[in-house]
Structure 1
Amino acid sequence: MTSVGVLAELEAGMAELSTPMRVFVAAGRFTEPEPDLPQLAARIRMLLASATADEAWRRFLPKYAPPSVPEVCAALEAVETHAAASLLAKVATVDLVWPSHRHLPVETAERAAARVVSLLGPAATWWTNHDSECGAVNGLTPLFDSLLAGTDGEHFTLALQIADD
């Protein structure tokens, strides 16, 4: 599949994982040569800015500015590729405040997440703001937030759920 075809498939898969006002997604292709974590963090900042500028959240965050690229990098923890699809589906489905509430049907999210992870391939790197050792979250906003970011070194995908109680 060509890079353009992969990008189109990634965008479609991520769009399936998006829900209004709660789960914000992005997929794209890096323009920088040999992108690494700082370039991914810059895309995360862009998603954070977009999500928190959404009309539903702007009133809760009137003076919010996304963390700097180094701060975003410091908030991220590596995720093993074999765990990426289930975490991506969880970010899209399980409400951060009310875990029994689902934003999407589980089957829909699992199918789309598996496809996205497959498209990025087994050598992709995945990052989250969750510390898997202790279960803590390195918040990127003043609200509840959950992020999963992946890249194959050419393309990237981002999923962010935000919530407030």
Structure 2
Amino acid sequence: MTSEESRLAELRGWLGELSTPSRVFVAAGRFTEPDPDLPELAARVRDLLARTATDEAWRRFLPGYVPPPVPRLCAALEPLEAAEAVPFLTTLATVDLLWPSHRHRPAEAAARAADRVVTLLGPSGSWWTNHDAACGAVNGLTPLFDSLLAGTDGRHYALALQIADD
């Protein structure tokens, strides 16, 4: 296994520590396009949204759902300061969107995994979310409640999405 393959396997492994069945979905990979930017990252977000919609637990809530086109996803994503990526990812994997007292993952374990994911993408990694921190709004990506964090180092990407329905 090359160091590149090893790094990607580690990224996927740590993201897997943040996922939960039918609630927190994750994806990681390496871009195949030269010089990927936000549209390429949004395309990977779109793939994750499509995969989530086919999950057995969510199909009935998302009949006929088609993820937004890439330009609309780009417009929904807000930059997140790198220093906020670990706490945001920890919260996304830990705290339920509808029932904040319910925990999906133990906070300590989630923080450790989130820190490793962010570290693997490095200090120059860029982070995006569907939350607008300035006003507290969420740019919904699905007809459900959702929270997304997407990161990239320009070569690899890491995605985490929590969905909920009332």
Give the shorter-chain TM-score range. Answer: over 0.9
Aligned counterparts, 1:84-99, within 5 A: 84-99=85-100
Distance 1:137 1:154 in 2: 27
Task: State the match for 2:6 in structure 1.
Answer: 5
TM-score when normalising by structure 2: 0.98
Equivalent position SS for 1:116: helix
Residue 79 of structure 2: SS of its match in structure 1? strand
Aligned to 2:25: 24
CA distance in 2, matches of 1:91, 1:80: 16
Percent identity (aligned): 69
Q: Which runs of 5+ in 1 are unaligned?
A: none
Mapped partners of 1:2, 1:155: distance in 2: 13
What's the CA shift for 1:5?
1.7
Cα distance, 1:63 vs structure 2: 1.1
Structure 2: distance between partners of 1:13 and 1:96: 22
The code of the aligned residue for 1:11 comes to R
Distance 1:2 1:36 in 2: 23
- What is the rounded CA distance, in whole Å, between the counterparts of 2:4 and 2:131 in structure 1? 30
Separation (CA, whole Å) in 1 of partners of 2:61 and 2:78: 27
Structure 2 residues not aligned, in runs of 5+: none
- Partners of 1:125 and 1:20 lie apart in 2 by 27
Match runs of 1:1-165 below 5 Å: 2-165=3-166
3-state SS, counterpart of residue 51 of structure 1 = helix
| Distance in 2 (alpha carbons) for counterparts of 1:122 and 1:80 | 11
User: Per-residue deviation at 1:157?
Assistant: 0.2
Shift of 1:129: 0.1
Return the letter of the residue paired with 2:40: Q
Alignment RMSD = 0.8
Moved more, 1-10 or 153-162: 1-10
Task: State TM-score, norm by structure 1.
Answer: 0.98
Report runs of 4+ in structure 1 exceeding 4 Å deviation: none
1:4-49 deviation per Cα after TM superposition (whole angstroms, max 9, x unaligned): 1210110000000000000000000000010000000000000000
Spell out, residue by residue over 1:66-115, the C-alpha distance to the aligned partner (whole angstroms, 9 max, x if none): 00000000000000111101101111111000011100000110000000
Q: CA shift at 1:2, angstroms?
A: 2.4
- CA distance in structure 2 between the aligned counterparts of 1:52 and 1:83, rounded to whole angstroms: 28
How many residues end up aligned between the 2 structures?
165
